[in-house]
Amino acid sequence: MKKTSFLAALSCAALLSAAALAEDLVVHAGQLLDRPGKAPRGASTVVVRDGRIHAVEDGFRTPAELGLGSAQVVDLRERFVLPGLIDSHVHLASDTGGVGGLVEDVTLSDAAVAYRTLANARKTLRAGFTTVRNLGDGTGATLALRDAVAEGLVEGPRIVDAGRSISTTSGHMDERLGMREDLHSALSHDNVCDGTESCRRAVRLQIGRGVDVIKIATTGGVNSRIGAGLGAQAFEDEVRALVDTAHLYGKKLAVHAHGADGIRLALAAGADSIEHGTLLGDEEIRLFLKSGAYYVPTLSTVNGYIERLAANPEAYSPEVRAKIEWRISVTGKSLQLAVPRGVKIAFGTDAGVSKHGRNADEFELMVKNGMTPATAIAAATVNAADLLGLSAEIGSLEPGKRADLVAVQGDPLVDVTVLKKMAWVMKDGRQVGL
């Protein structure tokens, strides 16, 4: 196709997309959870205009009753409707873990990773997750996808992206771990830092790439390809330099942390969220409550580990396998402590370690470990929107907010597992084919 023809096709697609949004939509919902954390409404009508919520009315109102000249009616009178879900911790570019993932790191082209990223984004959207926070991608595929989705060029969830995650040298984000030394110079490592100036520079590099949020690691990781443990792997001045630089540029900062010492370092420095937070105690919870940071438990990681090991007992190296077995044995215990103490919880799965498109599995694990269906849903809507800084746009169904809606068969406030199968999805006023 000639360049002029290609541009004409894009222009035509944009016009068709605009035309699709020109007509008002009237959604009839059997039950409507318009504001998670509050009681659901019964029969309701949601009017969607130009990709946003225009009005929410009680009962099944016809377009004529609403004073609309013409409108498409979406019949969800037998369905439970709620806001589009938000996953605060995904890795859209990742799929394969363990030794297989290591092989792919040095064999897949960036172009191949980009197509995988798009495929995983589509799975995620069809699962009802209309917004995600992507916390780590070395190729830049997710940053590019974020922009393509925002421009309407491809279908996918709204993406808040962290670019490349940052750690100290030999920390969790150092791609050279477990690789032959003669390969180290060929592997990117501008995301690792040592000392305050180096750490400030690492954040500024990601800022320059146009990221929305900064992700760092203060402890080792389960999937780190060395047996260095899961305790702190950064000094206090390095963590403060990372946090302060992110905040200087108006970016929130998410922290991968398993061990209690690394959690304390991050919270004391002003982190906005702790990801995983596997070893919480009284002091860590006190710091959560003092700082107002969010806890993102990512319980679903254990599903990914269990499934990969069932398919191949040699899927992970011995050092990693030992950490996986520990993680499986303790997962959920920190959430059980955090919930009754009032720590703010935001929904996140670490999809990429677990399976994309099965993000809603996390709800069941959250409920098993101390949350109610209502608070788990709030974690994936109003709480996650607050963590992402998007409360004015998403998280509830109120006039002026983006028209992100999902529908399920059954009542998720009674049985949260019904969220595993979407009956209908809308993002920005566009219905998504399932």
The pLDDT score that the predictor gives to residue 294 is 98
Nearest Cα neighbor of 293 from 265, 321, 261, 331 is 265
Beta-strand pair 44-49/85-90:
unpaired
For the sheet with 71-83, list strands across it. 52-58, 44-49, 24-32, 71-83, 405-408, 424-427, 430-432
Which secondary-structure segment (H or E) carries 75?
strand 71-83
Which secondary-structure segment (H or E) carries 430?
strand 430-432
Q: How far apart are CA 20 and CA 329, in angstroms?
A: 50
Residue 29 and residue 45 in contact, taking contact as beta carbons nearer than 8 Å: yes
CA distances from 166 to 190, 246, 348 (A): 9, 12, 19
Around 354, how many Cα atoms within 13 Å sit in the side-chain half-sphere? 22
Around 352, how many Cα atoms within 13 Å sit in the side-chain half-sphere? 23
CA distances from 255 to 128, 238, 285, 295 (A): 26, 13, 15, 10
The pLDDT score that the predictor gives to residue 262 is 97
Let me know if 45 is exposed, middle or buried by CB neighbors in 10 A (0-12, 13-18, 19+).
Answer: buried
The pLDDT score that the predictor gives to residue 170 is 80
Residue 346 and residue 338 in contact, taking contact as beta carbons nearer than 8 Å: no
Query: pLDDT per position in the chain (434 positions), as tens?
Result: 444 443 444 444 444 444 445 589 999 999 999 999 999 999 999 999 999 999 999 999 999 999 998 899 999 999 999 999 999 999 999 887 776 766 677 778 889 999 999 999 999 999 999 999 999 998 999 999 999 999 999 999 999 999 999 999 887 877 767 666 766 565 677 889 999 999 999 999 999 999 999 999 999 988 887 767 899 999 999 999 999 999 999 999 999 999 999 999 999 999 999 999 999 999 999 999 999 999 999 999 999 999 999 999 998 888 889 999 999 999 999 999 999 999 999 999 999 999 999 999 999 999 999 999 999 999 999 999 999 999 999 999 999 999 999 999 999 999 999 999 999 999 999 999 87
**Backbone angles phi and psi of 212, in degrees to 5:** -95, -25
First vs last C-alpha separation in the chain: 30
CA 111, distance to chain mean position in Å, is 23
Coil, helix or strand at residue 210: coil
Which two three-digit tokens encode residue 147? 């922009």
